[in-house]
Structure 1
Amino acid sequence: MKNSSIRDSKSKRWLTLIIVSFTMLMGYFVADVMSPLKSMIETQLSWNSEEYGLFSSAYGWLNFFFGMLILGGIALDKFGIRLTGTASAVLMVIGAIIKYTAISHLHHGDSLLFGIDSQVLIAGIGYAISCVGVETFGITASKVVVKWFQGKELALALALQVAVARIGTMLALSASVPVAKAFGTVTAPLSVAVITLLAGLVMFLYYCVLDKQFDKAESLANNNEEEESFKLSDLVTLANNKMFWLICFLCLTFYSAVFPFLKYATDLMVQKFGVNEDFAGMIPSLLPFSTLFFTPIFGTFIDRKGKAATIMIIGSVLLLGIHLLFSIPALDSSIIAIVLMIGMGLSFSLVPSAMWPSLAKITPQRQLGSAYAIIFWIQNGGLTLVPYYIGYLLRNYCESEVNGQIVYDYTYPMQTFSLIAAFAVIIAFALKWEDKRKHYGLEEPNYKPD
């Protein structure tokens, strides 16, 4: 007779999804809260585009260059969800406080640290610390979902977790400018971010109680047999898996063509499409908003019908087409911008809803934390270098003065994003070929009925 599992309780597994998704939502809000404020930051704080790009690149300073994300994944597999998740949430709060303090209490131009304006650098350090928390909590949340939904509605649950987290990005893009203008300072949205993060930390502490119940119940159901634990040699196993590396580099190229784009999307709406600054953030916010509708649909489809590898190809091709259209100077209608942002939301629903369940198929659960960590670490390389490069391009090749006002031509940056998306398309085709050759089952359904 088959032993009952606590994950068979629909109410409990969906409650855990709500909790970790809420905390992740708060993390994404903090990560993107300054994205739509570029022009206000340049006006109020006297930053230039290159300094803004440097600050935005701080997302990966610690995660990528110091390998903190790799260490976080190993800690997750070694020490478990409760300790790693709590530590990650605390880091998000600490980093957000440092960033807020730098922006609100230091002044641009007062001093330099390592040749960089001290306000920019310290704000970047705070951002980097909070992003260690965001990324490590992201892999923790993914492992939570796999833990509770393995053999159930896994693709749907992972898709919903991503979609709900994206609400944080949507709120950051749509609300940051109105909040900043209402209070007359760019620090106002940052203070909101700190408060919301504290709420996310409290929610995760409640999840820890449920997680402890899960472990106790599973131990009893399995007659106190211990699951095989993570070993450092498991990293060698991952390194020898070609499909794992294809997913890594698809993640790198696809996300590098989306997240850094969002850092500049609000300014793009103002500079190219002539949208009023007060409302410009609303158009990019359509991307995460549309994922709320599209992602559950594709997650359910993959659970029931499969075709994950094919869906990753479709999403990558769609992203390439959208960036190419954004790069055409003559297409400058705000209606076109709205349609393209919704299309990008469709693309951003297709690929993640297929990619993350695929990783769970090719990786044993004891290695999942490390697998997610390596993928996110490589992804952070793109999230670090691409925003800085776009800022460099804008300041040195795309900046001009019209009627005494600095304006930017986004043609070169959008061509850069198109090139990155083209690499994603190539890798997506290679991934499907490898699945066909090695029979990983990415085209097969995930769902096993209760």
Structure 2
Amino acid sequence: MSKPNLHGRTSGESQQTPSEEERYSHLLPNNSDFAPSLTPLIPRFISPKSSISQSTSPNSPLLTAQEEAEAFCRDNIPLDVTTPVPELHSTTQLWKYKLFALVFTLLISGSGTIVIIQETILAHWFKGSSLSLAIALQISTSRLSSFLSMGTAVPIAEWVGFYGAAFFISAVVCVLSFIANILYCYGIKKIQSDLEEDIIKRLLNKNNFNRRWILLFPVLYWLLLLDAFILSSGWTSFLHINSEFIKLKFRLDDAAAAWNASISQLVPVILVPFLGIYIDRSGRRSTLLITSSFLFLACIVILGYTGVSPIISMLLFSISLAIGPVCLITAITLVLPSKILGTGLGLYKSSQNVGSTIVDIWVGKLQDTGERIEPSVSDYDKVLIFYIFWNTLALITSKLIYTVEKRYYHSVLSVDQHSRKNTIQILEDTQVIPTISSETDIQRLKFSLTKNFSSTFPTL
């Protein structure tokens, strides 16, 4: 009885070796657009210096079918020049990119200004009475919409079959928001028509602004602005990458990764209103800022360097995201007078946008330093290190705010609702928090800057 040879045939059977087309045809694309014929492709795939050619020499060890296939893919598939390569810089795609950049610029411009206006309006109506709760409800509503959008964008695109379907739903929501703003303006116009003329003049005079007033902002405000720059840029950039990072590390599909990441937007919806009530009653803003920074740092460490479920990290991040904005916004309203509060909140929002732009670009650059073409978890190694450094810096800044407001500002950010008004009055009387009502106040405070600098801007 004859023995089978290396190809599994007996000596009596044909010794014909299968052709390259037969052996590797299953590795070639089936799409007719990219592989119209297998026969002309095979010669272009095979390289005389490939691992397969070398392995079939008399002195080379025999390879299994799987090893031959892997060697074929590794050495020869990149040599295929028949597969059409899309024109990445074609006129159509370039036009689409420019249109997207224009639309995104309009989006950022609108979303940035409307938040400033909303917070200023809330501070006008609720300053000194339940402002934290009002800001908390506004943030809670915003987080709810973000949670729904992050969780439903992928399912909507898959259901409709078009990735841009979610944009149409967003456009409908924007139209509803526009109608709500029109109704609010109409209501304010109606109220103004019922006011006396001298009251209207006082309100208009209150809205006058002098750019020199920026020099009168207290040191505590600038520290809050620095903390907002660090924390907000970290929050925003992390929200942009958390879904992809969870997908790569835990090997989830797009929908599951999106829902896991959207948990970061869920807890603020529930927690923020209760947090606003707590802050209104007990204060403790500087302590809560330290807590927010620490939770963000813990989220990065757990998500990046442990195998714990991403839900835990997203819950920690969402608590940080709930605490920080409420404390920062309400703290700014306490250290600035009403006349310059809109400017203060505008600078606050600008610091957020500038920080987000810088950190987003930097995080993207850190991701691109890897050698792999396809996205992988290793692309985020330097990103995680950066976030640890960035959150440590936020933790130090929050601790500095805690020390300064305790030592120089009579704990204005930490006192409860019963002591808050008296504390603010003391700070205004000593011009630690400036009061501005006329041009005379400008000259008086300008003199104070030169003659009594320590009383207006306490030294550290």
Q: TM-score, normalised by structure 1?
A: 0.68
Query: Which structure ranks higher in relative contact order (CA pairs < 8 Å, sequence separation ≥ 6)?
Result: 1
Matches within 5 A, 1:165-184: 165-184=142-161
Matches within 5 A, 1:291-440: 291-328=268-305, 331-333=306-308, 335=309, 337-397=310-370, 400=372, 406-409=375-378, 410-439=380-409
Counterpart in the other structure of 2:68? none
The 2-side partners of 1:422 and 1:217 are apart by 53
Contact 2:116 2:345 in 1 (8 A): yes
Q: Where has structure 1 moved over 6 Å in runs of 4 or more?
A: none
Deviation at 1:326, TM superposition (A): 2.2
Deviation at 1:108, TM superposition (A): 5.4
The 2-side partners of 1:203 and 1:223 are apart by 24
Find the structure with the greater CA-based Rg: 2
The 2-side partners of 1:427 and 1:242 are apart by 13
The 1-side partners of 2:201 and 2:133 are apart by 31
Deviations 1:227-281 (A, max 9, x none): 533322354335x421111111111111111111111111111101222212211
Letter in 2 for 1:439: Y
The 1-side partners of 2:195 and 2:88 are apart by 55
Deviation at 1:395, TM superposition (A): 2.4
Deviation at 1:124, TM superposition (A): 2.0
Letter in 2 for 1:277: D
1:110 to 2:83 alignment: no
Q: 1:125 aligns with which of 102, 113, 133?
A: 102
Counterpart in the other structure of 1:265? 242
Letter in 2 for 1:437: R
Contact 1:155 1:446 in 2 (8 A): no
Is the alpha carbon distance of 1:395 and 1:150 closer, same or farther for their aligned partners in structure 2, counting shifts above 3 Å?
A: same
Counterpart in the other structure of 2:433? none
The 2-side partners of 1:214 and 1:157 are apart by 21
Aligned partner of residue 247 in structure 1, secondary structure: helix
The 2-side partners of 1:306 and 1:198 are apart by 37
Is the alpha carbon distance of 1:236 and 1:225 closer, same or farther for their aligned partners in structure 2, counting shifts above 3 Å?
A: closer
Counterpart in the other structure of 2:447? none
Give the paired residue count: 331
Q: 1:155 aligns with which of 120, 132, 146?
A: 132
The 2-side partners of 1:439 and 1:279 are apart by 48
Is the alpha carbon distance of 1:433 and 1:267 closer, same or farther for their aligned partners in structure 2, counting shifts above 3 Å?
A: same
1:134 to 2:111 alignment: yes
Contact 1:163 1:288 in 2 (8 A): no
Is the alpha carbon distance of 1:412 and 1:392 closer, same or farther for their aligned partners in structure 2, counting shifts above 3 Å?
A: same
Deviations 1:415-450 (A, max 9, x none): 22222111111111111112112226111234899x
1:203 to 2:180 alignment: yes
Deviation at 1:118, TM superposition (A): 4.3
Q: 1:281 aligns with which of 240, 258, 272?
A: 258
Unmatched segments (≥5 aa) in structure 2: 1-86, 422-460
Letter in 1 for 2:315: I
Contact 1:322 1:343 in 2 (8 A): yes
Aligned partner of residue 372 in structure 2, secondary structure: strand
Is the alpha carbon distance of 1:298 and 1:216 closer, same or farther for their aligned partners in structure 2, counting shifts above 3 Å?
A: farther
Deviation at 1:165, TM superposition (A): 0.8
Contact 1:109 1:117 in 2 (8 A): yes
Contact 2:234 2:356 in 1 (8 A): no
The 1-side partners of 2:342 and 2:192 are apart by 17
**Farther off after superposition, 201-210 or 218-227:** 218-227
Is the alpha carbon distance of 1:438 and 1:118 closer, same or farther for their aligned partners in structure 2, counting shifts above 3 Å?
A: farther
Is the alpha carbon distance of 1:225 and 1:373 closer, same or farther for their aligned partners in structure 2, counting shifts above 3 Å?
A: closer
Q: TM-score, normalised by structure 2?
A: 0.67
Counterpart in the other structure of 2:71? none
1:442 to 2:413 alignment: yes
Is the alpha carbon distance of 1:432 and 1:230 closer, same or farther for their aligned partners in structure 2, counting shifts above 3 Å?
A: farther
Deviation at 1:213, TM superposition (A): 4.2
Aligned partner of residue 249 in structure 1, secondary structure: helix
The 2-side partners of 1:444 and 1:137 are apart by 31
Aligned partner of residue 368 in structure 2, secondary structure: helix
1:143 to 2:113 alignment: no
Is the alpha carbon distance of 1:221 and 1:166 closer, same or farther for their aligned partners in structure 2, counting shifts above 3 Å?
A: farther
The 2-side partners of 1:137 and 1:110 are apart by 36
Contact 2:229 2:355 in 1 (8 A): yes
Deviation at 1:224, TM superposition (A): 6.2
Letter in 2 for 1:303: D
The 2-side partners of 1:314 and 1:269 are apart by 24
The 2-side partners of 1:184 and 1:356 are apart by 41
Compare the two structures and name the one with the higher helix fraction.
1
Matches within 5 A, 1:241-252: 241-252=218-229
Deviation at 1:209, TM superposition (A): 2.1
Letter in 1 for 2:415: E
Unmatched segments (≥5 aa) in structure 1: 1-106
Aligned partner of residue 444 in structure 1, secondary structure: coil
Contact 1:272 1:332 in 2 (8 A): no
Is the alpha carbon distance of 1:436 and 1:220 closer, same or farther for their aligned partners in structure 2, counting shifts above 3 Å?
A: farther
The 2-side partners of 1:430 and 1:320 are apart by 17
Contact 1:306 1:443 in 2 (8 A): yes
Aligned partner of residue 250 in structure 2, secondary structure: coil
Deviations 1:69-102 (A, max 9, x none): xxxxxxxxxxxxxxxxxxxxxxxxxxxxxxxxxx
